[in-house]
Structure 1
């Protein structure tokens, strides 16, 4: 089951650590509502632009810091400027999340399990 909740109204939220800024791009709620996957761009100054991050958090928790599941660097200046490399997520059940991302993105962090959720990551040519 796939559930997407657009978060255009969240714009940019400062995360408070090292002057970094998180830009929430999407949120995917697990089928039973026990977890949420937050997809966001993160910029920490310099000319690096946004880096794509994915975190699994509890529904009432506030997003903070880097992604705890996946972190992707842009392979192009256009991706870096537009919020980071393309990424999407889909819950297959309450304890399984599939993440797809642009094949040309550089994977900086990738975890197979977070908060008892099994994570599958797939690189996709688009």
Structure 2
């Protein structure tokens, strides 16, 4: 969240990474939220003993028209609220599942612990834009 707080200074120019992906503050914020939702849905499916829904989205390879919008104080407030609430949903879901469920094999999927470790690195998306002020 500290990186996103600097995005209010965005000058409208995208960041292009070595892999050719184009990044704006709004895109990074969207991808953080999408990624957290996708993996929370995966964890829920695994705990329910159901197959996960295949991801047919193009993720970071896609830049939507809305991704070009200014990143305002209200966008930052919305991101803080959504990210905090999604983080809390993970905490509650994992607590309800209990520690014994975290390492249960879920082949071919990751274990719940592996999913948690993966989403803990969610700052990667913010780092693509970086600190702007």
TM-score when scaled to structure 1? 0.28
Higher CA-based Rg: 2
Greater RCO, 1 or 2 (C-alpha within 8 Å, sep 6+): 2
